[in-house]
Structure 1
Amino acid sequence: MTSTLTRLPRPYQSYVYAYPHKTAYRPLAPRPTLHEVWAGEPRDPLSLYLHIPFCEIRCGFCNLFTRVGAPGDLTTRYLDALTRQAETVRACLGTEHSPRFANAAFGGGTPTFLEAGELIRLCDIAERVMGADLDAIGFSVETSPATATTDRLAVLAGRGATRISLGVQSFDENESRAAVRPQRRADVETALARIRDTAVDVLNIDLIYGIDGQTPASWRYSLDAALAWQPEEIYLYPLYVRPLTGLSRRDRAAADLAWDEQRLRLYREGRDHLLTQGYEQQSMRMFRRIDAPAPGPDDYSCQTDGMIGLGCGARSYTRNLHYSFDYAVSAQEVRAIIDSYTATTDFDRAVVGRAIDADEARRRHLLQSILQADGLPVADYRARFGTEPHTDFPVELARLAERGWLADTGPARLRLSPEGLAYSDAIGPEFFSTAVRAAMAEYELR
């Protein structure tokens, strides 16, 4: 019997967390000054992101911009460079229209790789240099079991952190080893207890499905172990084996339909289990406890508002340009980029990026809306662009409807059906522009 997956696009193609993807970025020529980039851009509200590219280990599935360890005084030199960059960015934003940050996040890598005193300095960069009122807006921080120490968590809680996300991935030690993320469950539980002791509003736990050797029973084991802590949020991530990562050296056929079916089955089981346990689905990956506190100010829109990213792995968004620094995955290349960043004294120009024209803006707005469970209010799209989504994307939306991936919500809203959400990672790439597809295909992995 032929699998239904042979008649549909593969469900796991590309994790669409931002558009365009960084592999579509190119060196900018000429390099515009940040004064030019932000001239006339709205600055109320903005999002602030600080990137720390260090981890204690490199997980086998990870293709994030990060390196293992920080020899010598590297973290000090990195924070020195981050301060120089923040001072330059803040000066380029000017004083006539001071920015207002609606949210902030520390990501990586592992921000809590930094010691407690260094985390204080990181918070000072966000508050005293950039002007983000962390106590008023709260902020999110990613951590790991090994670095979620009492002193580090105390700094974050004391400075106003409202969300701490722990990358557990699996509570099964055999699965952790298979994912090249060796850890003891006892250490994970200790880290979770420390986070709960901080009384931070939101605990998030990340879990991964599709690990070698994972079964429905072991998947339920991890789900229930996570639920025992009553986290306000749970993210369920499909395992991807990406080039230049630890797991990519293993023998797995790229067209492994059985693996696709396994991940889809585990996803559905995890989704259905969480829905019966008092959680509501926010996206393919995110589940939020129904009685969880509000996540913070709700006047920021990722579809329309800008973002300032600080650090060599961060990206920034304006209406017309997305920009960052160079990007790589391999350990040698990442180290070289970090070394170049720490030696930089002049941060007043955008280096690498991609211009966002009207067509790309439409694609981004639609993608970042329909890949959320609430979907796209058509009136918002019409107000911004003066057109209708079905007029701009007739072929793509008709295809979703034919597959049964659009919910019956009437003309006022575009929303994916439950099965459409399950195929989010296949839907995203179908809305990529021809130019972005070509740039991604031409990108040289390194």
Structure 2
Amino acid sequence: MSNATTSSFPSFRDVVEEARASFRALPISTLEKLGILQSIENYYLIGTYPPLKAMGSVEPMEFLPKATEMCSVYLHIPFCEQRCSFCHFAKEILPPEQRVERYMRALHRELESTGELAGHPTAQTVYFGGGTPSYLSPRQISEVFAKLRESVRITGETETTFELHPSVIDAADYGDRLDAIAESGVNRWVFGVQSMEDRILDKLNRGHSAADVYKLLSMLADRGIDNLSVDLIYGLPYQNPENWYASIRTLVESGVEKFNIFPLMFKQADPISMHYRKSPDIFPGNEERLMMHFMTESIMKSIGFRRGPLFYYAKAEQHSRQQENKYDSIEDINLLPFGVSGFGYVGHTQFYNEATLDRYMAAVDSGRPPVWRGSALDFEERMRRAVMFPLRSGGVNRAAYRERYGADPVERFATELAPFIDNGLLAVDAESLQVTDVGAPFADSIAISLASPAVVSRVHASNALITDLKNDPVDRYDFSPIARESFGAGVSPVGRLRATEEAG
């Protein structure tokens, strides 16, 4: 990692002025008419297509053997030391050690059996997520990597990513954990910071402080680790432009060269949704959220960082192959998940593993793949997916699309895309279809216009059956904004933004 000098970092005043100009250039009334100005509680990123709510029963033996020769591999470690208020992924807090061991045995068995079913593909990328993968002991870390290497082919070119959490920085064996991760071949490290303001971290129940982040950065630097990404979230309680700017600047000047920067997203089962309904005034509004997005864009451009995919920034030419594969090339490099709640795309089928530990372990113990729900995509749905996802990354390559699908994406989906092209949210040239800087904050809302009527209908049917937003697993693990139910407690995005537009 290389440290940025204070003189090379843009001033807060310059960043805010540029962000304000970008915000004032937004066509707020047009965004409202197009239906892509989401209320705060209803905003979400696209994680899968079709979404979980549009899935049903599938037979894994029909699609797992069709995995591509090269895959992206995901492994889920669902254990944490604390419940972060915003986290909606599958997890258990401080489980008994015997439960951790039982889960790891099940994960090993799934690696062995599903790896064989999938033909022991070569892993172009491997990603350990959670939960908190660094919750595992050095022995457990070494063992799961050994089993992984028996199940898929790991080469010297495989990008292997492991998530860390600063909350375990004071564990007696944490140095040994870092060493075990490094010795297992990890060459990309990701850890959640979310903010460098202790007041915000306390409200999120993160279990770590800004000082712990510095300590972790130091421990990684001492080990010669320089390929790391840091997660930040904007839209958090007590956040404002000043402390958002300070968080980014502090980390850049500490040598961080890759960022994963996301807007806060709500699931009704998460504590932060209750916090928002009780005290919306402590959260940034839509104007402030958009300002923080444009501030991020201003800072990153000023210091020479590249954006791609959306919400990922890097000083290097490439942020990560793992993210680019997910959005740009999943048909050729399938996504193969292992562990509870993992979702994947194999053999033209989008699917989810069982979402609770007990159901996941029972499935593995019974000798069957732990697939919960899925949906096989026909040719038409694959055409739609191949526009939706690249819009969040490098854009849609028109020539490659025509070669694969026999149609031009701009012509094939002219009805859906024309309003966004005409209003400057999407840009088209002879080679590609891409979101513009104006359209970037709304890329997911633009993309879901490509969802088929059949998929939208299935989502509505699922919504009608959900009576408990806090406990229904279909709603909880549906990582998609498609036909998402509106929540009355949300604050309208329109009033304040329209007033700002008129004042500007």
Is the TM-score greater than 0.5?
Answer: yes
Shift of 1:273: 0.8
Letter in structure 2 aligned against 1:20: P
- Answering whether residue 409 of structure 2 is matched by residue 379 of structure 1, we say no
Structure 2 Cα separation of the partners of residues 393 and 46 of structure 1: 29
Check whether the contact 1:378–1:412 (CA below 8 A) recurs between aligned residues.
Answer: yes
The answer (yes or no) to whether the contact 2:261–2:312 under 8 Å persists in 1 is yes
Measure the CA separation in 2 of the matches of 1:218 and 1:16.
Answer: 28
Instruction: Provide the secondary structure at the position in 1 that maps to 2:248.
Output: helix
Could you say which residue in structure 2 is the equivalent of 1:425?
A: 444
| Contact 2:235 2:284 (8 Å CA) reproduced | no
* CA distance 1:231–1:166, shift in 2 (3 Å): same
Q: 1:232 maps to what in 2?
A: 257
RMSD of aligned Cα (Å): 2.9
CA distance in 2, matches of 1:118, 1:189: 26
- Structure 1 stretch 240-249 or stretch 435-444: which is displaced more? 435-444
Counterpart Cα distance in 1 of 2:323 and 2:244: 34
> Aligned partner of 2:130: which letter?
G
Residue 148 of structure 2 aligns with which residue?
126
How many angstroms apart in 1 are the aligned matches of 2:352 and 2:28?
A: 41
Q: C-alpha separation between the residues in 2 aligned to 1:33 and 1:283?
A: 30
Q: Aligned match of 2:351 in 292, 312, 323?
A: 323
Question: 1:207–1:251: structure 2 CA closer, same or farther, 3 Å change rule?
Answer: closer
- Whether 1:115 aligns to 2:145 is no
Provide the residue aligned with 2:302 in structure 1.
276
Aligned-partner Cα distance in 2 for 1:181–1:169 = 9
CA contact (8 A) 1:307 1:318 kept: yes
Report how far residue 151 of structure 1 moved. Answer: 1.3
Aligned to 2:481: none
Question: Does 182-191 or 434-443 show the bigger shift?
Answer: 434-443
User: Is the CA contact 2:73–2:123 (under 8 Å) kept in the aligned structure 1?
Assistant: yes
| Residue equivalent to 1:140 | 161
Q: In structure 2, do the counterparts of structure 1 residues 24 and 134 end up closer, same or farther at CA, with 3 Å as the change threshold? A: farther
Cα 1:26/1:116, change in 2 over 3 Å: same
| Match of residue 10, structure 1, among 30, 37, 42 | 37
Q: Check 1:49–1:200 CA distance in 2 against 1; reply closer, same or farther (3 A cut).
A: same
Give the Å deviation of 1:386. Answer: 0.7
**Inter-CA distance 254–434: structure 2 relative to 1 (3 Å threshold):** farther
Instruction: Say which is worse superposed, 192-201 or 217-226, in terms of deviation.
Output: 192-201
Offset from partner CA, 1:39-72 (integer Å, 9 cap, x none): 4x35321111111111111211111122212213
Query: Cα deviations across residues 275-299 of structure 1 (Å, max 9, x unaligned)?
Result: 1112111133100113679859999
Name 2:113's counterpart in structure 1: 88
- Structure 2 counterpart of 1:133, one-letter code: I
Residues 245, 402 of structure 1: alpha-carbon distance in 2 compared, 3 angstrom cutoff: same
Q: Give distance in 1, aligned partners of 2:216 and 2:73.
A: 26
CA distance in 1, matches of 2:322, 2:271: 37
Q: Indicate yes or no: 2:336 matched with 1:311.
A: no
Tell whether the 8 Å contact from 1:50 to 1:314 is kept in structure 2 after alignment: yes
User: Does the residue aligned with 2:85 lie in a helix, a strand or coil?
Assistant: coil
Give the alignment of 1:16-415 within 5 angstroms. Answer: 16-28=46-58, 32-34=59-61, 36-39=62-65, 41=66, 43-94=68-119, 98-128=120-150, 130-133=151-154, 135-147=156-168, 149-252=174-277, 259-290=285-316, 301-327=329-355, 334=356, 336-337=358-359, 340=362, 344-348=365-369, 350-372=371-393, 374-407=394-427, 409-415=428-434
Moved more, 69-78 or 190-199: 190-199
- C-alpha change, 1:298 and 1:134, in structure 2 (3 Å) is farther
SS of 1:59 mapped into structure 2: coil
In structure 2, C-alpha distance between the alignment counterparts of 1:348 and 1:292, rounded to whole Å:
34
TM-score by length of 1: 0.88
CA distance in 2, matches of 1:234, 1:422: 17
Amino acid of the structure 1 residue aligned with 2:419 = R
Q: Distance in 2 between matches of 1:423 and 1:285?
A: 12
What number of residue pairs does the alignment pair up?
A: 428
**2:113 alignment partner AA:** T
CA contact (8 A) 2:72 2:123 kept: yes
Amino acid at match of 1:77: R
Compare 169-178 and 350-359 and name the one that shifted more: 350-359
2:353–2:360 Cα contact (<8 Å) kept: no
Return closer, same or farther for 1:24/1:33 CA change in 2, 3 Å cut-off: closer
Q: Distance in 1 between matches of 2:201 and 2:186?
A: 28
State the secondary structure of the residue aligned to 1:212.
coil
TM-score, structure 2 length as denominator? 0.78
Residue type matched to 1:223 in 2?
I
Secondary structure at the counterpart of residue 57 of structure 1 = coil
Q: Is the 8 A contact 1:315 1:323 kept in 2?
A: yes
* Equivalent in the alignment of 1:331: none
**Bigger share in helix:** 2
Deviation of residue 214 (structure 1)? 1.1
CA contact (8 A) 1:10 1:260 kept: no
Inter-partner Cα distance in structure 2 for 1:64 and 1:315: 11
Q: Deviations over 1:280-330 (max 9, x none)?
A: 111331001136798599999225321211111212322331222233xxx
Is the 2:145–2:184 contact (alpha carbons within 8 Å) kept by the matching residues of 1? yes
* Structure 1 spans left out of the alignment, 5+ residues: 328-333
1:237-283 deviation digits (Å, cap 9, x = unpaired): 11122210011112439999972221111110112112111211113
Kindly provide the amino acid, as one letter, of the partner of residue 286 in structure 1: Y
Identity of aligned residues (%): 25
Alpha-carbon contact 1:104-1:134 (below 8 Å) kept: no
Flag the 1:82–1:203 CA change in 2: closer, same or farther, 3 A: same
What letter corresponds to residue 270 of structure 1 in structure 2? T
Q: Structure 2: where are the runs of 5+ without partners?
A: 1-23, 473-504
**C-alpha distance in structure 1 between counterparts of 2:357 and 2:69, whole Å:** 35
